[in-house]
């Protein structure tokens, strides 16, 4: 079984554990032990995996961490487990910080059986960073992230290469955040930087204000083209064609007032991509109406996944349906389409309930 398939199997275990694992021990058994195996360690060999690892830290005597993973007799990774019901953002993991400076391991993992957070000492040697350099969500990931996760396999484990990649990942994240900020509204320095390449005169305040909407429109066009390229790769000739400012009639033959906007198409493709983890993409369908756009399984009114309320000028709302037989509708206001990925778990659960 290749690594990608092992992760798919782990993802299925994680989804099942979300419904049935009520304790930390259940999380360890159902997901974490298989995760250790997937990374190439023998979970049942004390030469490779030491449960309840003890390393006295100052006045803290006999404190334990859940697992220490060893390579060639040396502790390579510390692993702390929390229940799958606990959000890692609220988890207390002070043991990892204390242990990190007392053992030879330079890699620490915190997991709740769904999210996997990786820490090292990039900022200061022998002192664990406060923020993870890489996170992996077993219930919401892509192939690029699987490739990153593969670095941590025992057979390929190279701490120096991992830390080099970790440093790069941190800069990539910071750059992505800055690019997203500029996409939302280019600041003066950003406009001046690009303006010097497209405008020959002096970059006065008036020129900056004149160029700002043009540069923002250019950024939007670049993003739109990248989205179109990915749609073409994913769906081939069936991919919708996205044009700037385009509004397409949902049913041209009916001559109705219904229009399907670019944002609705993009949101549909996001929901379809999320649902594709458990269902063929062809089974996820969209039907537009005057007041909202509906997404179903099998184009069936009895199989609602969500509704997109995007017709208001200032507010966008996504209505999510809980899995059948309940099908309770809850509304969520969003500012950016990317926020739909935050609902991935519920979308997958609802789609799966119809299969």
In a shared domain, residues 27 and 151? yes
Q: How far apart are CA 239 and CA 228, in angstroms?
A: 8
Does the residue 148 lie in any domain?
yes
Do residues 10 and 35 make contact, with C-beta atoms less than 8 angstroms apart? yes
In a shared domain, residues 112 and 227? no
Check which CATH number belongs to the domain holding 20 and give it.
3.90.1570.30
Does the residue 179 lie in any domain?
no
Do residues 315 and 333 make contact, with C-beta atoms less than 8 angstroms apart? yes
Q: How far apart are CA 212 and CA 192, in angstroms?
A: 9
Tell me which of 147, 170, 193 is where a domain ends.
170
In a shared domain, residues 207 and 350? no
CA 282 and chain centroid, separation:
23
- How many domains, the chain? 3
Q: What is the pLDDT of residue 258?
A: 67
In a shared domain, residues 295 and 195? no
In a shared domain, residues 320 and 270? yes
In a shared domain, residues 162 and 194? no
What are the two backbone dihedrals, phi and then psi, of residue 304, each rounded to the nearest 5 degrees?
-75, 140
Question: What is the signed CA dihedral for 60, 62, 63, 68, rounded to 10 degrees?
Answer: 130
Closest CA to 343 of 286, 282, 281, 273: 273
Give the structural domain span for 17.
Answer: 3-170
In a shared domain, residues 193 and 118? no
Does the residue 75 lie in any domain?
yes
Q: What is the pLDDT of residue 56?
A: 60
Measuring CA to CA, how many Å separate 320 from each of 243, 258, 284? 27, 22, 15
Q: Specify the pairing of strand 284-288 against strand 293-297.
A: antiparallel
Does the residue 175 lie in any domain?
no
In a shared domain, residues 59 and 128? yes
In a shared domain, residues 56 and 99? yes
Do residues 161 and 107 make contact, with C-beta atoms less than 8 angstroms apart? no
pTM of the model: 0.54
pLDDT in tens, the chain (355 residues): 689 999 999 999 999 998 888 888 999 999 999 999 999 999 999 999 999 888 665 545 667 888 999 998 988 899 999 999 888 876 677 767 777 777 778 888 999 999 999 988 877 777 888 888 888 999 988 888 898 899 899 988 888 888 887 777 777 777 877 887 887 778 899 999 988 888 888 888 888 888 888 887 788 777 777 776 766 665 565 555 555 544 443 444 444 456 777 788 888 888 888 888 888 877 888 888 878 889 999 888 889 999 999 887 678 899 999 998 888 889 898 888 888 888 888 999 999 999 8
Place of tokens 């983890």: 277
Do residues 212 and 186 make contact, with C-beta atoms less than 8 angstroms apart? yes
SS3 351: helix
In a shared domain, residues 62 and 162? yes
60, β-bridge pairs: 57
CA 314 and chain centroid, separation:
26
Does the residue 110 lie in any domain?
yes
In a shared domain, residues 229 and 307? no
Does the residue 241 lie in any domain?
no
Q: How far apart are CA 303 and CA 298, in angstroms?
A: 7
Q: How far apart are CA 312 and CA 333, in angstroms?
A: 12
Does the residue 176 lie in any domain?
no
Measuring CA to CA, how many Å separate 335 from each of 71, 125, 206, 316, 317? 46, 40, 30, 7, 9
Place of tokens 């993870």: 132
In a shared domain, residues 127 and 38? yes
Q: How far apart are CA 188 and CA 167, in angstroms?
A: 29
Does the residue 346 lie in any domain?
yes
């Amino acid at each position: 079984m290749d690594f990608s398939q092992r992760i798919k199997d782990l993802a299925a275990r994680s989804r099942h554990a979300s419904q049935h694992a009520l304790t930390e021990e259940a999380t360890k058994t159902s997901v974490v032990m298989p995760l250790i195996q997937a990374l190439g360690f023998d979970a049942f060999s004390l030469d490779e995996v030491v449960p309840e690892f003890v390393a006295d830290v100052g006045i803290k005597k006999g404190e334990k961490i859940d697992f220490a993973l060893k390579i060639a007799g040396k502790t390579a990774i510390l692993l702390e487990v929390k229940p799958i019901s606990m959000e890692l953002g609220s988890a207390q993991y002070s043991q990892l910080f204390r242990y990190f400076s007392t053992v030879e391991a330079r890699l620490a993992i915190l997991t709740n059986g769904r999210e996997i957070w990786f820490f090292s000492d990039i900022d200061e040697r022998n002192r664990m960073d406060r923020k993870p350099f890489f996170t992996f969500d077993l219930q919401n990931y892509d192939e690029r992230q699987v490739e990153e996760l593969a670095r941590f396999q025992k057979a390929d484990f190279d701490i120096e290469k991992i830390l080099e990649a970790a440093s790069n990942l941190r800069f990539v994240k910071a750059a992505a955040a800055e690019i997203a900020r500029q996409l939302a509204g280019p600041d003066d320095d950003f406009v001046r930087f690009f303006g010097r390449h497209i405008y020959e005169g002096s970059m006065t305040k008036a020129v900056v204000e004149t160029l700002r909407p043009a540069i923002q429109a250019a950024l939007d066009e670049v993003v739109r083209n990248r989205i179109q390229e990915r749609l073409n790769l994913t769906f081939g000739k069936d991919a919708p064609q996205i044009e700037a400012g385009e509004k397409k009639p949902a049913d041209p033959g009916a001559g109705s007032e219904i229009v399907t906007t670019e944002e609705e198409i993009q949101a549909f493709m996001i929901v379809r991509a999320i649902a594709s983890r458990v269902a063929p993409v062809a089974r996820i369908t969209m039907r537009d109406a005057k007041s909202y756009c509906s997404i179903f399984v099998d184009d069936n009114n009895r199989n609602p996944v969500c509704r997109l309320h995007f017709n208001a000028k200032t507010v966008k709302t996504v209505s999510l349906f809980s899995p059948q037989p309940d099908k309770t509708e809850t509304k969520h206001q969003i500012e950016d389409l990317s926020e739909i990925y935050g609902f991935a778990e519920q979308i997958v659960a609802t789609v799966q309930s119809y299969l």
